[in-house]
Structure 1
Amino acid sequence: MPEPLDPDMFAGCADHTPLPVRVGDKWTAKILVCLRDGPRRFSELQVPLAPVTPKVLTESLRAMERDGLVTRTAYPGIPQRVEYSLTDLGHSLFAPLAASCAWNAAHGAELRKARDAYAER
């Protein structure tokens, strides 16, 4: 069992400027990071992803499952226990995401400046 997720694991991401290159929806990359070290239950994912409503988190996970990025495993019991884990396809996104994050770190200020200039027109 992996260590519990840090509720502040995304606190250093103060800049919420959307990346110009996005995989899935707004939350997909963060969900991928949460699942990097192994399967997680929905309630575990909610800890660092507190700004995401349960409805949106559910929709994101369903979309990721549809796209083959995660698997959903339901275990019998009352209440039923459900875990989400990354597929090989999901794991393969870490290299492109790292490149996208590096690009954003290097050019984020330029991107924000261009967006601000566009908004002023």
Structure 2
Amino acid sequence: MSSSHLQWLITRNTSSFILKKRNVKQPFSREPLHLTNRHCFKYNTLVHKNVIGIEPAKDKNGFVVVQKSKTKVYKPKQSMIRFQIKSGPRHTLAKLRNIVKGGYRKDCRTAVLKKASAIIRSEKPRAGKKTKPVKKAE
């Protein structure tokens, strides 16, 4: 395989995942495992070998961690390993922190935790607005 820098130089302007907007300097990316949706080399999931992604769970309970396997590089569908973490907000983030510490890139660790905490925050039920009772006119 060629280096990730060479792959980035080839695909950075011609990727089908680029989303450019008017009056925005940094283009966005629609890659499946992308952590920040910014089109840059650091967070690109197509060129790096060691990739981790966070997705919301279908049952709205926790999140799904998706990792690229290093063994089946040429079979993209089979190379994704998915597992769900759903045991309370603090416990799930602690589990994810231990997974990420065990061999993931140091520069992207905070982005993984931020995305997971944003998913947990979005699943939390919102409290409805309290209305004051109307006084009856006598």
Band of TM-score, shorter chain: under 0.3
Q: What TM-score do you get using the length of structure 1 for normalisation?
A: 0.24
**TM-score w.r.t. length of structure 2:** 0.22
Which has the higher Rg, Structure 1 or Structure 2? 2
Normalized per residue, the structure richer in helix is 1
Q: More relative contact order in 1 or in 2 (CA 8 Å, sep 6+)?
A: 1
